[in-house]
């Protein structure tokens, strides 16, 4: 059984929760799943970030490079690709695509729900690929 299949086979595993956030919410656009995956105090914030990002980049695809879990903490390394088809950061859409932008996020998962998230994204690379900066 592959590592990814093992992740999906263990309900309640913090890595499964994060994998579902990426696969179902970010990649598939199923925003209604946020309430299932995030604690109530986290859900509104998650929706407030994910919704406008998906409106700006409706074809976003997050590749899970690696997920590491220890107790309630999951660290994810991702590569993000998408086409800018809606306004982003106050700028009109460029119609251009960015590819394989690196992101690293830390998630705290308690009782099967994400309670905290913090991350770093290579925004300068994303902006360069979109033609928004030199």
Does residue 91 lie within any of the structural domains? yes
Tens of pLDDT, residue by residue over 6-17, are 444 455 699 999
As for how many domains the chain has, the answer is 1
Does residue 107 lie within any of the structural domains? yes
CB atoms within 10 A of CB 117: 19
CATH number of domain containing 104: 3.10.450.50
Q: What CA–CA distance (Å, rounded) separates 93 from 52?
A: 13
Q: Where do the H-state alpha helices sit in 1-134?
A: 3-8, 14-20, 34-37, 40-56, 123-129
Under DSSP, is residue 110 helix (H, G, I), strand (E, B) or coil?
Answer: strand
Tens of pLDDT, residue by residue over 23-75, are 999 999 999 999 999 999 999 999 999 999 999 999 999 999 999 999 999 99
Under DSSP, is residue 88 helix (H, G, I), strand (E, B) or coil?
Answer: strand
pTM of the model: 0.88
At a CB cut-off of 8 Å and minimum separation 6, what does 27 contact? 60, 61, 62
Does residue 44 lie within any of the structural domains? yes
Does residue 134 lie within any of the structural domains? no
Domain extent for 51: 3-129
Closest CA to 26 of 55, 56, 64, 61: 61
């Amino acid at each position: 059984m592959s590592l990814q299949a093992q992740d999906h086979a263990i309900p309640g595993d913090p890595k499964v929760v994060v994998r579902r956030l990426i696969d179902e919410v970010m990649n598939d656009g199923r925003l209604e799943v946020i309430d299932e995956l995030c604690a109530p105090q986290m859900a509104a914030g998650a929706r407030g970030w994910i919704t406008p990002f998906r409106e700006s980049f409706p074809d976003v695809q997050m590749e899970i490079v690696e997920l590491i879990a220890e107790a309630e903490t999951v660290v994810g390394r991702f590569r993000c690709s998408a086409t800018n088809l809606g306004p982003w950061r106050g700028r009109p859409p460029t119609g251009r695509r960015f590819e394989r932008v690196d992101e690293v996020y830390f998630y705290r998962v308690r009782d099967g729900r994400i309670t905290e998230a913090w991350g770093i994204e290579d925004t300068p690379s994303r902006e360069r690929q979109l033609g928004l900066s030199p």
